[in-house]
Amino acid sequence: MKQIPGSQVRQILLLLLIAALFGVLFWNLLFFLPAVLGAYTLYILLRKPLFLLTERWKWNKKAAIALLMVVSFIVLLLPMFWLFGMLEEHVVALLSNSDKLLQNAEHIIQTLETKYGVELLTPDNTKSLTDWGVRSAQGFLSATFNGLGIAIATYFILWFMLAEGKEMEQAFLSSLPLRDENVQYVQKHLHEMVWSNALGIPLMGVVQGFTGLLIYWLAGVDNPWLWFAITFVSGMMPVLGVMLAYIPLSMILLANGEEGKALLIFLYGVIILGSVDNIARMWVLKKIGHTHPLITLFGVILGLKLFGFIGFIFGPILISMLILLFRIYHKEFGASDT
């Protein structure tokens, strides 16, 4: 009977031990996963400005890191906290009055059906849709309430990443069990992936949010900043996109007897917001990078369930990482086998 070589047995046992320890650590530190993703994302966005300040302009490294962290918090995280905080406030108010939410939804639909002689939804479908929305919102909020702790952990990790940036990158890349050309492939595509997801997707929401805010303000819509936030979030979604904002708003205005405003919002959404969406996506594709709509769609769903509202960014990054691993495996082993 042929025996398994001792070196292979030791190798398998060592790999099993590493996998077991990694599983234990990962499971017990799962709370810090969004913090690690956030720190890595910010590191990719800040690494070039850091190198510019410290190597070309000869700044003190700690001072440069402190400045970049403060600027990133003010420019990136503070607006997001304000935006999602406003959404959370209204979502919590709706959840605390879920029965009233159902009554309002039924009232709006019945009003439209009576006025225009159409059947939109049955009462059972309306209740099912509302219950689904309430359950989904509760799940999103439970994942979002840890936002402050995640932000603190993110910047704590980010400090060490920026302080030991080049050494950390070199240690990570040299430890990869890949050929040199594939190591360079990983480095290039990791950076492109972060830029296209962390900057490209939110930029789509910002452009469409401010475009929508203009008509909300001119039309005199109640609480235009809330609808700006809804347009910002829906603008990051592929397929339906900003239709998730201007169609419900048009229906609400129509049910309230404001047909002129409803028609104005609807036409503006179809013509202007739709055109802005196409133009912005073409610009992002050319200047920043492309993320497939399906990756964005499933990534957003995954991210919302895992991390709350901040998952709009981290969900697509996780799926992109998985796809990148498949590509690396094919390049490393598939090509040579063929």
Percent of the chain exceeding pLDDT 70 equals: 74
Contact 281, 235 (CB under 8 A): no
| Token pair for 266 | 């609807």
Q: Please calculate the CA angle 30-326-194 and round it to the nearest 5 degrees.
A: 60
Reduced to 3 states (helix: H, G, I; strand: E, B; else coil), residue 118 is: coil
Running DSSP on this structure, what letter comes out for residue 55? Answer: I
Q: What distance in Å separates the CA atoms of residue 174 and residue 315, rounded to the nearest whole number?
A: 27
Q: How far apart are CA 135 and CA 147, in angstroms?
A: 20
Closest Cα to residue 46, out of 202, 183, 194? 194
CB 222 within 8 A of CB 265: no
- Find all residues with CB under 8 Å of 213, minimum gap 6, and list them: 224, 225, 227, 228, 231
Residue 130: alpha-carbon gap to chain centroid = 24
> Mind listing the pLDDT tens digit for each residue in 211-262?
999 999 999 898 899 899 889 888 877 667 788 889 888 888 877 778 889 8
Question: What own/partner pairs with CB < 8 Å and gap ≥ 24 does 144-148 have?
Answer: 144/84, 144/88, 144/307, 144/308, 144/309, 144/310, 145/308, 146/31, 146/308, 147/81, 147/84, 147/308, 147/310
**Where are any strands of DSSP class E within the chain?**
none
The arithmetic mean of pLDDT across residues 287-312, rounded, is 73
- What is the value of pTM for the model shown? 0.75
| Backbone phi, psi, residue 59, to 5° | -75, 155
Residue 12, pLDDT above cutoff 90: no
Could you count the other beta carbons within 10 Å of the beta carbon of residue 87? Answer: 20
Q: Are 79 and 205 in contact (CB under 8 A)?
A: no
Over the stretch 119-178, which tens digit does the pLDDT of each residue have?
A: 555 555 555 555 555 555 555 555 555 666 778 888 999 999 999 878 888 888 887 777
Judged by phi (left if over 0) then psi (alpha if -120 to 50, else beta), residue 239 lies in left
Q: How many residues does this entry show for the chain?
A: 338
The per-residue pLDDT for 50 is: 93
Strands (E) across 140-261 are located at none
Pick the most confident of 5-9, 202-206, 284-288: 202-206
Give yes or no for a contact between 205 and 232, defined as CB atoms under 8 angstroms apart. yes
Supply the DSSP string of 283-302, one letter for each residue.
HHHHHT----HHHHHHHHHH
Mean pLDDT lowest for which of 36-40, 145-149, 182-186? 145-149
According to the model, what pLDDT value does residue 289 have?
Answer: 61
